[in-house]
Chain A
Amino acid sequence: MTMSRAMPASLVLAILALLVLSPMAGLLHLSALPGYEAVDPRFWENAYLRRVVFFSLWQALLSTLLSVLPAILVARAFAMQPQLPLRRLLLGLFALPLVVPAVVVVMAVVSVYGSNGWLPLGRSLYGINGILLAHVFFNLPLAVRLLLPQWQAIPQHHWQLGEQLGMNTWQRFRFIEWPMLRESVPGVSLLIFMLCLTSFAVVLTLGGGPRSTTVEVAIYQSLRFDFDPAQAVVLALLQLGLCMLVAMLTLKLQRMPAVEIALSIAYRHRALRLRWFDLGIILLATLYVGMPLTSLLIDALRGPLGQTLGDLRLWQALANTLFIGLSAALLSVTAGWFLLQYSASLAEQGHSRRARLVDLAGSIVYVVPPLVIGTGMFVLLAPHVDVFDWVYPIVIAINALMGLPFVIRCLGPAMRQNHARYHRLCQALALRGWHRFRHLEWPLLRRPLGLAIALVAVLAMGDLGVIALFGSTQSATLALMIYQQLGAYLVAQASVTAVLLLLLCLGVFALLERCIGGSRDAKN
């Protein structure tokens, strides 16, 4: 059985390696040509670069801690309040920050915390404060969404046992909830660490100046400003290496909980006193996430609504955005599915280390900048094909690649538990292939599957990078349109477009989550 799972997974891994490594090889090959600088082996002696590496790690680490630790509290509060009014809407809201283009987030953060904002921080906003505020805005809600399903995986009898033993809140957390979280928290932290490590426009603009330069900026500089492909590849590998180190560390912390056969899973009803505490936490988090989004909405409502929405090209851009987002999500989830099936069967056979390495391989490609992949692909493709015909496939492929770590985080834990519970049963019943998917996996995994597809779709819809990179004669996506409007002094129109993008994402997210995740998802 493992063999049949290893085959498609190896294919996915091979494609991943090809997608990531061949562009780098292409760039290195290019740098060997006359007119380009060769790899400088002494690059590490550069004091500036060392500072950049240190700063990248530091800000990413801080951002991750400040996102994940509060997210555990918030997710727990949501988990304990299944009957909360507007719960579904609030959780939908929590999926939004991730899709807002960086430049819009910068504006939104400044609307709230800038010198004329609602909670003015003045000059001290620019620097590590601004970076952290923006990164937590992006990532705290994401962590909440990814951690929340963990509470649902806790069997009912654990709670009952806890009650019989007279556990207090802390003991319940320590002995019932934490063991479930230990599978997810390290992985979610790693994902957020990668997101913050590769952050670019936010760090540069809110960071206050070149003191706040990340490796990602240095890669951009070497590939664009200096056009030194060798240096760009070296830096990209450095970033990959750093991330690998952090990943190894998180793997050490990760523990897979034993999976039990348990059929009834339900929520705890909590004492009234704690209910207020949960509500307070949810309110704070909602305010934090909601304020910048509200400021965007206010800007948009003040903007030229009719004029902007009456533009046919806007709707064309919307159609493009939708097409790219849905295609990338489908591709990403398919690839992720095969990888996770393989890693789940490895875990079930006791090779949990190898299983985690497969997951890691699928996730870590995220830190290779799309600029490096895109430019490398261009170097490889340009002599053979007309690249303009390939813009959409390339954009979709790169977005699918960038979505893979999200798929692995959403679907991985559920897939593993599912496999551990039912694999033997399936073997006994000779349930395999399509039938196994149809009768076992689909009903049990559709909820995380829905979340994964929805998340990757909105992520790809908010992405700007790759289309701008390849240059296109086709019409823009909404994210690109926002940049174009801002570049043409049209700040007001840009805020209308940004809110339209947000509403589109909200709609797509809700629809995908409901259609694929099923109506039971109302509780998630």
Chain B
Amino acid sequence: MKSVLSCTGTLLVSLLFCFGLQAATPNLVVYTYDSFTSDWGPGPKVKAAFEAQCLCTLELVGLSDGVAMLNRIKLEGDNSRADILLGLDTNLTAEARSSGLFARHDLSLPVSALPDPWQDDLFLPYDFGYFAFVYNKEKLANPPTSLRQLVENSNGPTLLIQDPRTSTPGLGLLLWMKKVFGEGSDRAWAQLSPRIVTVSKGWSEAYGLFLKGEADMVLSYTTSPAYHLIAEQDSRFAAAHFAEGHYQQIEVAGMVRTSQQKQLARAFLEFMISEDFQKIIPTTNWMYPAITGADVVPAEFSQLIDPSPALLLDETIVARQRKGWVDDWLEVMSR
């Protein structure tokens, strides 16, 4: 009985101590997407690394994706608990900008790895990647060498893609086609359509079906083969290099205007573009880090294709046209 009492006492004291500590250290709230916070994403490592230097608690809140984060903060408005939003991409930044919910970061990328110079006073990139069609080298000997070839060869490989309404790569392919075919993109989609095995809700479904051998190629990232190389020592997978170039996805973070701890939030953004954060990215988020540095990128990444020239549409054009383009796509694909 005595030992139970003393145990309870110790527990109470240590609990009180914990609460005391918590009250003393500030809490930085970061809204991000679910796969960032998951046990296999960058989240746990980022949290440990930042907390080791900030004397604060980093609270990572996982939402389903960038769109959900932006909707969420718009709904919360001035009452939001968030200090940082991490995980928007350049297709969402125009909308995020016009919401007026973000504050200037007053930072610059030290040694940018991005193909184009980064100028944005609200958002800072933390990683980027290129969309690509991934295939199994043992099964597909002669992959197409350009997007045009993929579209025009009616005997070409079968494809798995994602829906632009529900998935980031899906929207990426839509913009890629727009960038390459311009006004002719509807016709190009119509040509491609018979070889599309299915259009999935998210990346996971399409990639899972691809690994089960349901199609020759899957819409993914140029960095996907790096996962198989590094985590599975499997070199069968490759991304097809397309002559027109590959469409980019740049993932960014921004500071919320109503944040009560701008200094700490800025410290986090600074940490985000430092090597400590950046070297976590390649093997957890499977994207390119935003800065260049001695040991930021693992050696296996050099075996990946060179995706240049990098393609990107202006964020304001995307924001204005996205809905119309998706409606056109639905029309063509429903025929």
Contact = CB atoms under 8 A, between A and B. Distances in A.
B59 interface: yes
Interface of B: 31, 34-35, 38-41, 59-64, 67-68, 71-72, 74-76, 79, 81, 158, 163, 165-166, 193, 196-209, 211-214, 224, 227-228, 231, 286, 323, 326-327, 329-331, 333-334
Nearest to B62: A471
A45 interface: no
Contact of B204 (A103, A225, A379, A383): A103
Contacts of B334: 48, 51, 209-211, 213
Contact of B198 (A206, A473, A483): A206
Contact of A311 (B34, B39, B204, B211): B39
Given A116-B213, A224-B71, A209 B60 contact: no
A221 interface: yes
Interface string A484-497: 11111111000000
A114 interface: yes
B65 to A, nearest CB: 9
Nearest to A48: B330
Determine which residue in A107, A210, A476, A490 has the highest number of CB atoms from chain B within 10 A of its CB, and name it: A210
A363 interface: no
Given A110-B212, A225-B165, A382-B76, A204 B286 contact: no
Nearest to A202: B201
A472 B68 CA distance: 13
B207 A103 contact: no
A487 B286 CA distance: 11
Contacts of B31: 471
A126 interface: yes
Contact of A472 (B41, B62, B202, B231): B62
Contacts of A469: 64, 68
A209 B330 CA distance: 9
Given A110-B212, A487-B38, A204 B79 contact: no
A226 B323 contact: yes
A485 B40 contact: yes
Given A114-B212, A116-B213, A490-B40, 13 more contacts: A48-B327, A103-B204, A111-B212, A115-B214, A116-B212, A126-B197, A210-B163, A210-B333, A227-B71, A378-B72, A382-B79, A388-B61, A489-B286
A127 to B, nearest CB: 9
B41 A488 contact: yes
Please report whether the interface of chain A is mostly helix, strand, loop or mixed according to DSSP: helix
Interface in A13-69: 30, 48, 51
Nearest to A475: B39
Contacts, number: 155
8 contacts: A115-B213, A204-B163, A210-B334, A471-B63, A487-B38, A488-B38, A488-B41, A491-B208
A468 to B, nearest CB: 5
Contact of B205 (A106, A210, A311, A480): A106
Contact of A205 (B198, B286, B326): B198
Interface in A96-139: 103, 106-107, 110-111, 114-116, 123, 126
A126 B193 CA distance: 13
Interface residues of A, number: 57
Contacts of A360: none
A193 interface: no
A200 B202 CA distance: 12
A487 B203 contact: yes
Contact of A476 (B38, B61, B67, B208): B38
Nearest to B161: A209
Interface string A190-224: 00000000001100111111110100010011001
B79 A473 contact: no
A123 to B, nearest CB: 6
A471 B76 CA distance: 14
Contact of A107 (B39, B72, B198, B208): B208
A480 B35 CA distance: 10
Interface in A482-512: 483-491
Given A204-B199, A224-B67, A226-B323, A48 B35 contact: no
Contacts of A488: 35, 38, 40-41
Given A126-B197, A221-B165, A489-B227, A205 B59 contact: no
A220 B166 contact: yes
B44 to A, nearest CB: 10
Given A204-B163, A473-B60, A48 B79 contact: no
A217 B76 CA distance: 25
When A and B form their complex, which 6 residue pairs have the shortest distance between CB atoms, in order from nearest?
Answer: A484-B38, A486-B204, A488-B40, A471-B63, A209-B199, A205-B200
A42 to B, nearest CB: 15
A260 interface: no
Contacts of A386: 81
B314 to A, nearest CB: 20
A88 interface: no
Given A486-B208, A489-B207, A489-B231, A201 B71 contact: no
Given A116-B213, A382-B75, A484-B40, A103 B67 contact: no
A313 interface: yes
A469 B212 CA distance: 29
Nearest to B206: A205
A473 B37 CA distance: 9
A241 B27 CA distance: 46
Given A48-B327, A383-B79, A484-B40, A207 B201 contact: no
Contacts of A378: 72, 75
A106 B212 CA distance: 11
A217 B326 CA distance: 14
